[in-house]
A and B are shown apart, each in its own frame.
Chain A
């Protein structure tokens, strides 16, 4: 994962969102700020949906916020464009202070810099697919002919060509979400925000849509913030994952870090059933090259997963697999190591390397 030194797309520091009467006293008061949710509610009548959250979203990455329902993740993503007004903290987009923006600058932000895809689509039922996709452009003030022409391209891009004149009510859930996606893409935003976009869809369609997102990301490299309650989905699409619980981020890291080194029991419990071999890379699992290792085994890049290494090892007749980067051998994984990863017994050694 290459970290660029540029300004993060989103810079979030100590962000709070508290619902309830006189919510603004909560973040500043250490006595209240640390109370568990139930106690806070009993004491003040307030609910802290987002508590003291800080993170950066880097340019070009898919940043996933994951948590169970009620963990504050949907509130968090809405705070990013102030669909929900944060209670306190700082929030920057490309270095601009979002919380300081006035109404028109904020609208400009929403119109051109960040577009959102919603769990329940939020399509206009009285408009055709094409006009729904063009809706963001209409709000920007783009003329009718131009916006329709531009929208048509995005309709095609999400695979809905031929359905331009249908109404949302005539589409399946998956198709509707493609419309939602096209609508967000059509305004050409710097960052796409996804609020549990696929949780209302059937599993098979969900998988298609996830692949669609991965493909789009690969093709365009657009920064994305992706909210989900589905760990599998998070692991599949995310470059980095922030795991939330009760409004706090309990762990922030790559999928591999989350799965390989859970920060606490909650996270561990969460990732217990994840097939580790599909997440852990050989870079993490490898051991240094030893003298007795054959130099001619199968070779894999360090970013390959353990399961890929298992396949390679199996094909190679059991010889250790070499991890090669730029022609240099970084280490090897032998069947022993691989089995250890699958069984969860070997603590990934290379944690620090990530």
Chain B
């Protein structure tokens, strides 16, 4: 007990009283200098889902998911955070290229993080009910047993009930079938889209405009020819990053990216994808900025929008692709609008966050000078939010890129189509050749926007030919010159300048599969592990969940959520789980849930260990960084085949795909969290002679708790984001249903399964993310 606290709490226990600490709203990536504040993800953070917080500050994770903005703490998302702020971002972070593919988002909860630091003293007796414990972030020790006792008794009760009453699924009487109304809506659209004014005077204009815009951009790119596009890409990167050494590095990345796209024989497909991305990102950024503006200026709008943004990001795109196709038509329009929906939330979140976190001192100064609302917005709030908005743009770009392949499903063409058609011939090499340009474009845009972000407002603008407007003119002039040169030279990528990687890649794949799949001495091989994992862990988990009576499971979830959060979170988690039953997909949801839980466990164990290694050993980090970048941006479709080849058509394959996807974010967030632990605390430990191990376990990991929480949150979001992909390799359950809904035109099936995935996300978020409780009276 610290002498200074007067409370009667147990030693060392300080109970936070603080009224919601709201933590800071920082975006996820804050600059290193900024303290990371919040760890939880809540909604806002850019981080993915959850946590928002930050994501880490600065971190970079690239991740994926959309971040939620932190504002409030809740993070949800993630997304990769690169942080633009701070130039000092740890390399890791910046590196990320993030792409997040999925970004998912979600934030599912907006909670506020509780800092552990609350000091207050008052201890209120916990109401201990059964099953509910009140617990908060940290609990006084004497409360813990009661809380655990409550949870345990709920569990025992549930088990006993199950034994006495028999297990069983969700009662059929309690379901609501969404398929009929959805199919009716589907039919209505089909019947009316050629005649109804809504379509004739509005929606069709939208889709025609979308087509025209993409075509116009493609037309320009095609007219520029490869020399023009290559030069433009390089000069744009260079100019945005500043005409200096760092800029030169970024320009080299741009050059390499474009040249490789051409070398791989993907030049035309790359241009098509680029055209779609330019329009999609422009629309998503504009839409996101407007939404963010509204949410940043009004608390009510912010609260109302948060669940909408979460749903936009967690609901699998497969689930809403079909209605979009029906309304907007196949090809560009549907692909564009789906991409916009998926990519706009990070921009909205980060814009709102930027507006909300503007320095109050500056705003007050503006008011004191008599600025009216509009002047404050334009001269102070928006400029102050620029960096966060740029981070939002970065995230939006990454998310949009992650939709490239899905867009191809509805006929958008481009690199996605190449990937997809390679799948039909089971040609991993060709899929990889199309996937690499996607990674390269992501890296190019990530580095460019990140460098631009680091430069923003950092120093006084330099003057001279290479700065300011004249530099843009210079870049434009260079592009023009290259374009003209290209006209002489030929605008299409020279045929001879391509290299086919498909054959060597396929050969390498076959070799790897032959040698790793079975019969490896001692360790067995991937197929052996896959079977053991399925039989030893997945089957019991799934069967156990499905065997438990539905009410026992609800009770269990409520108890768990109450243990880590508030009554409200218990209620939300329970309602979300019940919703899957009501939707009529109880059994499938539990199957998916068991896979998600297993994937999450694997991701966290591997991710945290790797993250700690990265934080402690520079070289590990250096070597892993490009790998992580690639894992995050590479479309999952590219590695479906190797995964199946190694692990068979199985849930283990689906879990592997999920782990591959979610791992980079977890590694980055963990590494960042461990690395950014207050150096003073570490120094103090070292000065007392703590060993490396002691430093790690007694100082770094405990202090990195917020980051670890964020990692869990992101893990949940990202794993859920690939449930659908899991369905493509044998995961079955909800993921398969979502795909089936799209491919068979059964809107009810797809949307229902999609909503169930959103519900699972809520459940997992609530039972893994401790919330701060509100102030107690």
Contact = CB atoms under 8 A, between A and B. Distances in A.
Interface string B352-365: 00000001011111
Contacts of B461: 165
Given A135-B379, A139-B375, A110 B368 contact: yes
Interface string B372-396: 1001000110011010000000000
Nearest to A186: B369
B680 interface: no
A128 B365 contact: no
Given A123-B362, A124-B383, A166 B370 contact: no
A155 to B, nearest CB: 15
A14 interface: no
Q: Identify which of B368, B384, B456 gathers the most chain A CB atoms within 10 Å of its CB.
A: B368
B459 interface: yes
Contact of A128 (B364, B370, B460): B460
Contacts of B366: 122, 135, 139
27 contacts: A110-B367, A110-B369, A110-B370, A118-B361, A118-B364, A121-B365, A122-B362, A122-B364, A122-B368, A123-B365, A124-B362, A124-B380, A125-B362, A125-B457, A126-B383, A135-B379, A136-B369, A136-B370, A139-B369, A139-B379, A140-B370, A165-B460, A169-B458, A180-B365, A183-B365, A183-B369, A187-B369
A124 B358 CA distance: 11
A167 interface: yes
A234 to B, nearest CB: 22
Contacts of B459: 167, 169-170
Contacts, number: 83
A222 interface: no
A74 to B, nearest CB: 11
A112 B365 CA distance: 14
A109 interface: yes
Q: Identify which of B365, B367, B383 gathers the most chain A CB atoms within 10 Å of its CB.
A: B365
Given A124-B379, A124-B380, A126-B457, A109 B365 contact: no
Given A124-B380, A139-B379, A165-B460, A108 B370 contact: yes
Interface in A192-245: 193
Interface in A69-113: 81, 83, 103, 107-112
A125 B362 CA distance: 9
A167 B379 contact: no
B553 to A, nearest CB: 43
Contacts of B528: none
A138 interface: yes
Contacts of A150: none
A135 B380 CA distance: 10
Contacts of B363: 122
A109 B457 contact: no
B382 to A, nearest CB: 10
Nearest to B371: A139
A115 B460 contact: no
A116 interface: yes
B378 to A, nearest CB: 10
Contact of A111 (B365, B370, B458): B370
Contacts of B368: 81, 83, 110, 115-116, 118, 122, 193
B377 to A, nearest CB: 12
A128 B463 CA distance: 13
Given A107-B372, A110-B370, A124-B380, A83 B460 contact: no
A255 B317 CA distance: 72
Contacts of A126: 383-384, 386, 456-457
A351 B584 CA distance: 90
Contacts of A110: 367-370
Q: Identify which of B367, B372, B379 gathers the most chain A CB atoms within 10 Å of its CB.
A: B367
A138 to B, nearest CB: 7
Contacts of B375: 139
Closest A-B pairs by Cβ, 8 of them: A122-B365, A111-B370, A110-B370, A116-B368, A107-B370, A136-B369, A122-B361, A120-B361
A146 to B, nearest CB: 17
Interface of A: 81, 83, 103, 107-112, 115-116, 118, 120-128, 135-136, 138-140, 165-167, 169-170, 180, 183, 187, 193
A135 B361 CA distance: 15
Contacts of B384: 124-126
Contacts of B365: 116, 118, 121-123, 180, 183
Given A81-B368, A187-B369, A167 B460 contact: yes
A22 B511 CA distance: 77
Contacts of A166: 460
A180 B368 CA distance: 12
A83 B364 contact: yes
A165 B467 CA distance: 15
Given A122-B365, A135-B369, 12 more contacts: A107-B370, A107-B371, A115-B369, A121-B365, A124-B362, A125-B362, A136-B369, A139-B375, A167-B459, A170-B459, A170-B460, A183-B369
A73 to B, nearest CB: 16
Interface in B325-372: 359, 361-372
A229 B77 CA distance: 44
A127 to B, nearest CB: 8
Nearest to A166: B460
Contacts of A111: 369-370
Nearest to A180: B365
A21 to B, nearest CB: 14
A126 B386 CA distance: 9
A125 B458 CA distance: 9
A95 to B, nearest CB: 20
A138 B369 CA distance: 10
Nearest to B382: A126
Contacts of A81: 368
Contacts of A83: 364, 367-368
A350 B460 CA distance: 58
A112 B370 CA distance: 8
A180 B369 CA distance: 11
B389 to A, nearest CB: 12
Nearest to B365: A122
Contacts of A127: 383
A296 to B, nearest CB: 56
A139 B374 CA distance: 10
Contacts of B456: 126
A135 B378 CA distance: 12
A167 B367 contact: no
A126 B378 CA distance: 12
A60 B170 CA distance: 81
A139 B379 CA distance: 9
B357 to A, nearest CB: 13
A352 B225 CA distance: 92
A37 B750 CA distance: 61
Nearest to A104: B372
Q: Identify which of A81, A112, A139, A140 gathers the most chain B CB atoms within 10 Å of its CB.
A: A139
B362 to A, nearest CB: 5
A90 to B, nearest CB: 21
A43 to B, nearest CB: 15
A109 B362 CA distance: 19
B30 to A, nearest CB: 15
Nearest to B458: A169
Contacts of B367: 83, 110
A120 B461 CA distance: 24
Contacts of B370: 107-112, 136, 139-140
Contacts of A193: 368
A125 B366 CA distance: 13
B388 to A, nearest CB: 13
A109 B384 CA distance: 26
A251 to B, nearest CB: 28
Contacts of A124: 362, 379-380, 383-384
A279 B414 CA distance: 82
A290 B164 CA distance: 113
B472 to A, nearest CB: 19
